[in-house]
Amino acid sequence: MNASPPPSPTRRRRRALGVLALAALFGGVLSAPGAAADDEPAPEQITNGDFSAGTAPWWWTANAPAAVVDGRLCADVEAGTANPWDAIVGQNDIPLVAGETYTLTYTASSTVPLSIHTNVQMATEPYTTDLSATDQIGVEAAPVTHVFTATADRDAAQVAFQVGGGAEAATFCLDDVSLRGGAEPPVYEPDTGSPVRVNQVGYLPKGPKTGTLVTDATDPLPWTLKSADGAAVASGTTVPGGEDPTSRQNVHTFDFGAVTDTGDGFTIEADGQVSEPFSIRADLYDSLRSDSLAYFYQNRSGIEIDADLVGEEYARPAGHLGVAPNKGDTDVPCQPGVCDYRLDVRGGWYDAGDHGKYVVNGGIAVAELMDTYERTLTADGAESAELGDGALRVPEHGNDVPDILDEARWELDFLLRMQVPAGNPLAGMVHHKVHDANWTGLPMRPELDPEQRELHPPTTAATLNLAATAAQCARLYAPFDADFAAQCRTAAETAWAAAKAHPAVYASPADGVGGGTYEDNDVSDEFYWAAAELFTTTGKDTYRQALLESPLHGDADAAFPADGGMWWGGTAGLGVLTLATVPNDLTTDQLADVRAVVTTAADRYKQQTEDQLYGVPYAPTGQNYTWGSNSQVLNNMIVLATAADLTGEAGYRDAVLRGADYLFGRNPLNQSYVTGYGERFSQNQHHRFWAHQSDPALPHPPAGSLAGGPNLTAPTSGDPEAATKLKGCAAAMCYLDDNGSYATNEVAINWNAPLAFVASYLDDAGDGAGPDRACRVTYSSHPWSTGSTTTVTVRNTGTEPVTPWSLTWLLPGDQRLSHTWSAELAQHGRTVTATGLSWNRTLAPGASVDFGFNSSLSGPAADPGTVKLNGRACTAG
């Protein structure tokens, strides 16, 4: 019998890194149909038959793990299997036309002579063959050719090299696989559904409501908003916009922002077409906050994923704990020649579609999760309860620590483990990454990964990522775990010193076997980010001077590039956002300058949402949508959200909402890029476990998983799906919801992290009208030689009594309370909580309470920023 192998494993590579050879298995078939008239070569049906793009879309069975070695796909075939079909290398999705002649050619060798079966066949039972041949493979590479005629039309046949049945183990290597013949593959036409493009999740009642219509018409057209029962709710005319350069579509826009009716099932009718249904509700994004954060638990390494938290289909054993067939991560050696020690680097999050763990990618991701929490301490209207203990799907419930910090700690612990121990060369530096020695195929469950894990050389970029994130850790975890906070602070300052001593140690662009390179030869942005976090946490002048002397300080274009936004290789903006929002010891003028950097960048992004026909806050030069473009959109939305928090200006909030419209369906493809949200959402993202398209026994990605999005360079990136389907694509159309398209459809921790921040912001936005304030606080400090005296007045400006009341805020730098009066005050790290005494614990409408404290202080007293009464921000002054 002919056994069918698991559907195709693929590999992916990452933005700005180019394409790396993947470990794959093997056997390729380059398809090219038989000779055509006039000696024109017949169409090629095989993808990546020379393995120049790695292993995708080749697959192999678990007993024949493969990798690209010297340009060939080499599979290590186990000994002792009974039948040829017990070990296979193959490629699926091969189209065949009945009666057409095909020529299959390949070159192969084996370390032990092998008799293999070479089949072109159905990929499912009964595995009917169009070609079934026995080939003798020797130790010297030799070409093989077969000519056959297809016996039936097949949309998705399979080329299978059946290499099992040998008594001895062997390494079987393939190259130059080609299958020519049949018809030219059809030109790919994306299914974009309705030409009426809206946010398929919906709109906030008091927020902006805009959409886009794709049409050949040049004059305005009527539109009608209808409720679920078909009743007309509003109407108007479209505004012709001409050709959208990102899609080459002729489009109109329409605006129904005046509508405040709420409900589900609304549609827009225009030009004889009907949009996808959507809602108008204040709670649109309530579940997205928790779903986007659950992504991280499901990508944890080194822990069993519990069915009670994620459901049976997503549950799995712990990966990479040294339990066979895993070979890590509890005792991991360095690459040869890198170090002579081994480290326990268990834990952390798997980076993206593979099982690598990268410090520079983990750094920005965990920082943005911590930012999501820290915003609840500093921003008006930011709710902490939805991130608190028991609110999210994590196993650490009941420990009195906010769940989002429990999740972030899983990555922080890993980052700390990657620091070079004292007494070794480059002590205090941080290893850049840990991953498999060879690429693995797709699908691949993490607990079944058989590859050796390796530590890669320390780099300055990785070291500064730890310095920045550990400094932020030190201030955020102090109220919950003082020892851990102290460990983070020590690690951060040690890393800073090591980076200053070794300021130009870079990742090699050639270090791309088994994982991404993540090379970055400009670490000025990481130095700025780390200095900002360390200064905010410690108040030390060393870090203040590093900030002020940086050429990036005060430069909006450097922090938030006009051509994109923050990303793992451009992190200065993270430092700017911290300085702008978290109380610190900058002078009033210095703080104003930093906040001006944020609003300058936000003004640019806001203008993009107003000028672009799809309302997206992303306008790279030449429409050069990059790898992970959706994460760029989201990071720009974080800047807009921060500007809204700082200024209270509705225009910034509205720009964030227009960005959400783009992500959830108001885009050229009519595609929601977040799984489970909208009518037409991405569900085949590139991931080794969430690989239902490749193996129906595995699940789709869970709700809240962000797809990377359009990538103009995808057709030339080595992505086999993009190479065949996206040639010549317009920038915003360069996307495939395909498990094999790693250049457009990958998931990644540093893409879901800004989604989680934005989801929290959107949920906090409520109905879109902005937060209501029911209190006013006056905070007045009077410094003296070694400290200050502060008086606080809180007034209830609402209509209901507040009892008992609790006021929270952050103290700048290392300020410490020494004496208090008229309230119970407690300090944990930089967080201060004041509660009423028995005689003033109720704050009646219109009433006020005064209390005060003395504190130690070095330097001028600073504004504490946002002060919250029972979790709700108060008006200052």
Q: Is 788 exposed, middle or buried (0-12, 13-18, 19+ CB in 10 A)?
A: middle
- Does residue 686 carry a catalytic annotation? yes
What φ, ψ does residue 284 adopt, rounded to 5°?
-55, -40
Which residues are registered as beta bridge partners of 853?
A: 790, 820
Catalytic residue among 175, 291, 368, 737: 737
Cβ-contact 250, 242 below 8 angstroms: yes
**Cα–Cα nearest to 431, from 344, 513, 490:** 344
Question: What are the structure tokens assigned to 264, written together?
Answer: 């589900």
- Does residue 413 carry a catalytic annotation? no
The CA distance from 861 to 815, in Å, is: 9
Question: What are the structure tokens assigned to 349, written together?
Answer: 């999050």
CA-CA-CA-CA dihedral for 271, 630, 577, 594, to nearest 10: -60
DSSP string, 600-639: HHHHHHHHHHHHSTT--S---GGG---TTHHHHHHHHHHH
Question: What are the structure tokens assigned to 481, written together?
Answer: 């775990």
The CA distance from 512 to 67, in Å, is: 13
Which amino acid, 651?
Answer: G
Q: Tell whether omega for the bond before 329 is within 30 degrees of 0, i.e. cis.
A: yes
* Residue carrying structure tokens 């002590």: 427
- Does residue 737 carry a catalytic annotation? yes
Centroid of chain to Cα 171:
36
The CA distance from 120 to 136, in Å, is: 17
The CA distance from 463 to 481, in Å, is: 24
DSSP string, 69-123: ETTEEEEEEPS--SSGGGSEEEEEEEEE-TT-EEEEEEEEEESS-EEEEEEEEES
434: helix, strand or coil: strand
Centroid of chain to Cα 759:
13
Angle of helix 286-298 relative to helix 749-764, nearest 10 degrees, comes to 160
What φ, ψ does residue 307 adopt, rounded to 5°?
-60, -30
Catalytic residue among 386, 411, 746, 763: 746
Cβ-contact 875, 797 below 8 angstroms: yes
What is the maximum alpha-carbon separation in the chain?
Answer: 99
What φ, ψ does residue 175 adopt, rounded to 5°?
-160, 160
The CA distance from 437 to 658, in Å, is: 43
- Does residue 344 carry a catalytic annotation? no
Catalytic residue among 320, 686, 687, 692: 686
Radius of gyration over every alpha carbon of the chain, rounded to an integer in angstroms:
29
Catalytic residue among 354, 403, 407, 511: 354
- If one counts every other C-beta atom within 10 angstroms of the C-beta of residue 649, the result is 15
The CA distance from 362 to 433, in Å, is: 10
Q: Tell whether omega for the bond before 561 is within 30 degrees of 0, i.e. cis.
A: no
The CA distance from 673 to 670, in Å, is: 10
The CA distance from 576 to 597, in Å, is: 8
Which residues are registered as beta bridge partners of 32?
A: 103
Task: Characterize the bridge pairing of strands 170-181 and 129-137.
Answer: unpaired
Cβ-contact 651, 699 below 8 angstroms: no
Helix or strand (DSSP H, E) at 573: helix 572-581
- If one counts every other C-beta atom within 10 angstroms of the C-beta of residue 721, the result is 25
Q: Go through the chain and tell me how many residues it has.
A: 877
The CA distance from 867 to 585, in Å, is: 17
Cα 198–204–208 angle (5° rounding)?
Answer: 65
The CA distance from 775 to 722, in Å, is: 55
Q: Which residues are marked as active site?
A: 354, 686, 737, 746
